[in-house]
Amino acid sequence: MMEKKYISPILEEIRKKDFQKDLKLAHDFALSYVKQVDEMRVYPDEEAIKNLRVFDEELSMEPESTNEVLKKLHQYGAPATVAQTGGRYFGFVNGGIMPSALCTKWITDVWDQNPALFVISPITSKIEEVCERWIKDLLGLPENTVAGFVSGSSTATLCGLVAGRNYILNNMGYDVVNKGLFNAPQIKVVVGEGAHSTVYKALSIIGLGKDRVTKIPYDNQGRIMVDKLPKLDDKTLLIIQAGNVNSGAFDDFNNICKKANEAGAWVHVDGAFGLWAAACPEMGDLTRGIDLADSWSVDGHKTLNAPYDNGIILCKHRDILVNAMHMTGSYIIYNENRDGMLYTTEMSRRARAVDLWATLKGLGKRGVGQLVWELHKKAKYFANLLIEDGLEILNDVVFNQVLVHYHSDNKTEELVKEIQKSGVCWLGGSKWLGKSVMRISVCSYKTSYNDIEKSAEEILRIAKNLKRD
């Protein structure tokens, strides 16, 4: 007996509705936000945050119209956003978003493609292939390097360290893919004392832990002290850094990688925001020797100003990365063209490489280099404006990071809090060489010299008021 057909009344109503008017409303709200973002408070005021209580509601039994959904987001959501796409946000190394990528994202959201396999989405497979080639060229990486497009540099780091772990264990005659870490031989993990917390998170996730890591001392800029490197061998997983998260400093890749290569160690470069310096001719000294590493992790949304959800794992050993990442299934249809899931932890994912492609297209090769150089020059300009009235710059501004100390730890922390409340600009606090610091990250293409001057003026004004207190 044939099964009786069931049609959901709710879904039938949704299917019948022409939602072009809703798309137009979304477009209008988006344009309104873009027009005001440069003048709005960088951090929302207390009223906007209190108004978020309107979202504390039970899920309704029946569907709500898309029109009402959009209006609620625009009325209450937009005022409670942080104006990261404006020019005066200097926190957390969060870049802006290039117009070419923002506009492209609207189109690809309508496409809603899954780049796992070529047969699922030929267009995104092709664009991933092109991006891989462009990035290798921009960063001067070996021709045999492959790229996986993941959610962020945290995931990219995870992928690189898994590949390195598996490679080392395999060379020791142990098949970790099939046997797991049960009774696996021990490997040595070596990191700089200034390694980012995501490195330790990745090590923990992949079963290498934190307590047995060998830490190399760093100098007063956060660079690994090469003469303090422990003895390296072919059982060593070495993690170095392109852009210290506080100071922006770069490790000595050339000398460190040469030593590691001679010993047969695997080298991973954590280049979340700093790896893009390799695309800037004026900053060649910072990244000399990065091509000697085995894997690299980098974010598109930081220095490059691609949208969020744009991490990249790069590895010069295709088979090792694929062996660590791939999965099997009778339903999976591999192709002679690129199958993106081979290089990532994910199968189903959004077509994030299209955003990256659009960003690179919108800048061009020279534009990427000039973006990196301009962010650096503006960071130096910002630092120079603040060297007065007790404000002290604690780092050499070699990239886009500025560390500021004001009289004492308490005064510095108080200064950061008052700046955050002002709404004129936003920046964060951190600890550096035992001191509390104000951490300024110049990351957005939208940041103008006027934005920097306005922000510096506010910082100095608040500092003088604190001095009088």
pLDDT score recorded for residue 450: 98
pLDDT score recorded for residue 81: 98
Contacts of 71 (CB under 8 A, 6+ apart): 25
Amino acid 148 reads: G
Residue 186: how many other CB atoms lie within 10 Å: 10
Contacts of 372 (CB under 8 A, 6+ apart): 276, 277, 279, 280, 283, 303
CA–CA separation, 301 and 101 (whole Å): 11
CA–CA separation, 162 and 181 (whole Å): 12
Mark the ranges of the chain whose per-residue pLDDT is less than 70: 468-469
Residue 417: how many other CB atoms lie within 10 Å: 12
Q: How distant, in Å, are the alpha carbons of 78, 85, 86 from that of 33?
A: 7, 10, 11
CA–CA separation, 101 and 116 (whole Å): 21
Give the residues across from 269 on adjacent strands: 240, 296
- pLDDT tens sequence across 285-308: 999 999 999 999 999 999 999 999
> For residue 51, what are its two tokens?
């108004």
Q: Tally helices (H) and strands (E) across the chain.
A: 15, 11
Architecture of domain 103-361: 3-Layer(aba) Sandwich (3.40)
Give the residues across from 43 on adjacent strands: none
CA–CA separation, 160 and 269 (whole Å): 9
Give the residues across from 371 on adjacent strands: none
pLDDT score recorded for residue 5: 92
CA–CA separation, 91 and 190 (whole Å): 29
Q: What are phi and psi of 287, to 5 degrees?
A: -115, 10
CA–CA separation, 54 and 347 (whole Å): 36
Contacts of 174 (CB under 8 A, 6+ apart): 184, 185
* Segment (H or E) for 216: strand 214-216
Q: How distant, in Å, are the alpha carbons of 108, 416, 457 from that of 426?
A: 31, 9, 13
Residue 177: how many other CB atoms lie within 10 Å: 13
Q: How distant, in Å, are the alpha carbons of 36, 165, 176, 292, 467 from that of 267?
A: 45, 11, 19, 8, 47
Instruction: Assign 39 to helix, strand or coil.
Output: coil
CA–CA separation, 467 and 407 (whole Å): 9
CA–CA separation, 263 and 148 (whole Å): 27
Using the structure block, give the residue that is written with the tokens 């404000």: 391
* Segment (H or E) for 391: strand 391-393
Full-model pTM = 0.96
